[in-house]
Amino acid sequence: MSAAPVSALFRHIETLQGDAPWGRFLDAGTGVNSALWARALETTDWVAITGAEGHARQVRAAVGQAMRPQDRLMVGNWQDDTLLSGEVFDTVIADYLVGAIEGFAPYFQSQIFRRLTPHVGQRLYIVGLDPYIVGEVSTEAGQMVRDIGRLRDSCLLLADESPYREYPAEWVINAATDAGFEIMSAQRFPNRYKEKWVNGQLDMAVRRLPKLRNPSLAAALSDEIEALREKGLRLCRAENGLRYGADYVIACRPICP
């Protein structure tokens, strides 16, 4: 759900990595963006985990012929203690994994870094999004981002689905430190949400409306979605994007016992 240019976040990770080899590479919560980026790196092998078969199909279609015989794309859940048992990777990336966990392993966020610890040989890179539906808002753009996020999540909940549960960078730093990692770098990247984001988030809400049990409520929400879309797109054009919130990249390494 990030609005920051994905390439900017990955370029930052490449800068942090420097000349160190990527080696064995684990994409602990893969998606199309992270998969395409990782497969372009010089890795000895690439293993990607996703919690849904539908996501796996999307990644497989995007990566295509770039998959090598030693690469693996797996559907799994990090609550499963046997997942990748005994395997250690030089580089691990958790790309928006903390937020996405809610849909597959609710409330497991506090355990995810301890779960990943035995698999991290050299570096763990964590990419995340500061929550934007809580806290004070001082700008019209910020209020619009919040309104869109809340309406999207409301439709997901009414359709019996779990929205992402994002955590701020400070929480992630504390959780990773408690799990035995040393923080090497932490940086925020301010967001500017464009028209594509406005339409994408509200289209996500629209697709859930047929699942609602109350047709009158679904119709009212449809009207609200389109009214918010019109207002959001107008504000986007006037301000050249909705500037609010930030993504972050945290780099850490395991502390040797």
Following DSSP, what letter does each residue of 65-82 receive, concatenated?
Answer: GG--TT-EEEE--TT-TT
Please tell me the least confidently modeled range out of 52-56, 88-92, 245-249: 52-56
Q: Are strands 23-27 and 120-129 parallel, antiparallel or unpaired?
A: unpaired
- pLDDT, one tens digit per residue, over 180-216 is 999 999 999 999 999 999 999 999 999 999 999 999 9
pLDDT score for 1:
42
Q: In terms of pLDDT, which residue wins out, 221 or 52? A: 221
**Confidence grade of residue 104 (pLDDT, cut at 50, 70, 90):** confident
**Starting at the edge strand that comes first in sequence, how are the strands of the sheet with 43-50 ordered?**
72-75, 43-50, 23-27, 89-95, 120-129, 242-254, 181-193
- pLDDT, one tens digit per residue, over 230-240 is 999 999 999 99
What integer is the mean pLDDT of 90-114? 93
DSSP category for residue 256? P
pLDDT at residue 5 tops 50 = no
pLDDT at residue 4 tops 50 = no
Give the domain ranges of the chain: 1-130+166-192+245-257, 132-163+195-240
**Confidence grade of residue 64 (pLDDT, cut at 50, 70, 90):** confident
pLDDT at residue 220 tops 80 = yes
Residue whose token pair is 């919690």: 51
Answer yes or no: are the C-beta atoms of 48 and 74 closer than 8 Å.
yes
Q: Could you tell me the two tokens for 238?
A: 């006037």
Q: In terms of pLDDT, which residue wins out, 55 or 175? A: 175
- What dihedral do alpha carbons 26, 31, 32, 35 form, nearest 10°? 0
Q: CATH for 1-130+166-192+245-257?
A: 3.40.50.150
Spatial CB neighbours of 43, under 8 Å, sequence gap ≥ 6: 22, 23, 24, 25, 91
pLDDT score for 111:
94
pTM: 0.91
Q: What is the full DSSP assignment across 164-217?
A: P----HHHHHHHHHHTTEEEEEEEEEEEEE-HHHHHHHHHHHHHHGGG-S-HHH
CA 134 from chain center: how many Å?
Answer: 18
pLDDT score for 50:
93
- What dihedral do alpha carbons 131, 123, 59, 245 form, nearest 10°? 20
- pLDDT, one tens digit per residue, over 74-85 is 999 999 999 999
> Among 118, 245, 89, 59, which residue's Cα sits nearest to residue 169?
245
pLDDT score for 257:
57
